[in-house]
Amino acid sequence: MTRIPSSPRTVLPLLTLAALAATACGGSRMHEAVHSPNGHGTAANETYASPTNAPQAGGDAPADKVAAAPPAAARAEAGAAEGGAYRPAPTPSPQEERPGLGTEWGETRESRVSSAPFERQDWNTPLSTASFFYNDESGVRAMLGSGYWDRRSDGISAARGAITIRVVDERGAALPTFSAGGRSYVMGNDGARYSIRIENQTGARFEAVATVDGLDVIDGQPGSFEKRGYLVAPWSSVEIDGFRRSEDEVAAFRFGRVQDSYAAKRGSDRNVGVIGVAVFQERGSSYPWTQRELGRRGAADAFPGRFAPAP
């Protein structure tokens, strides 16, 4: 993995996911940091990359993707795993068990990262945000209520149609998703593994900052727009399949009981049940060329008025 040094104040480093067969990178870099471009604390001078495509059924290795490195401050606090997200703390004292699903700190999966520069158009304000509220079948039905709802498999459209986000199972198939009242709901099953797939349908690059149960997927800290995310290259997709443990591994996302969730073991289950993605535009980029717009251009007619109109 080639390390890319920090750029001037406004440049934000991102990570590029290396193939699983690539040589593992040294973990020492994960402890280096520089001041963040906006001066609000510190950010790692490298971002973490994980496989671009999630592993296929049968044990196939996932493809490369690009991610931003977690802030150094997050990694420095007590209890952090070496170079990655926080490992679960001891289970707190027993309390009334909440129904429904949460996301557990799952098994270790190989997912290597490398770094690449990326400068946001606006450091603090994403171009677009999207969220999925997930639960088991009874929980989703309860949240949908008796009102009108749609079942959909096309995911959530973000960044004015440039980005599509889906929650997929370990085979890559979209989980049952429902839309009602301006919200999207995903139905999962206890024990099942899932990933967050982010598809870029333009020729521009974007940065995607993702959270699960209110925790950043890279450093395990409360989600924030100031965290770095995964770089989504032009006309490509990225699958985020776990909380980052190090430059080489993630802890898989697995549905489980709320009390067993990573968030609950980190100290609070307040935000359990929601997956979020914030999309940032690259400075100086333009992205009007979605598939829809390309189709409209291709169907343009130079002589639409072939016949005289009636009086």
Compute CA distances 95 → 91, 191, 246, 253, 259, whole Å: 11, 22, 32, 24, 9
pTM of the model: 0.69
Nearest to 212 by CA among 69, 65, 99, 103: 103
Strands 128-135 and 183-187: parallel
User: What would the pLDDT profile of 208-219 be if each residue is shown by its tens digit?
Assistant: 999 999 999 999
Cβ 82 vs Cβ 256: under 8 Å:
no
Q: Is the pLDDT of residue 298 over 80?
A: yes
Burial 241-279 (b: 16+ CB within 10 A, else e): bbbbbbbbbbbbbbbbbbbbbbbbbbeebeebbbbbbbb
Q: Which stretch of 18-22, 29-33, 145-149, 163-167 has the lowest confidence by average pLDDT?
A: 29-33
d(CA 164, CA 158): 6
User: What would the pLDDT profile of 124-171 be if each residue is shown by its tens digit?
Assistant: 999 999 999 999 999 999 998 877 677 876 788 898 889 999 999 999
Structure tokens at 84: 């990655």
Higher model confidence: residue 81 or residue 300?
Answer: 300
d(CA 88, CA 71): 19
d(CA 225, CA 278): 7
How much is the pLDDT for 84? Answer: 67
Q: Is the pLDDT of residue 100 over 80?
A: yes
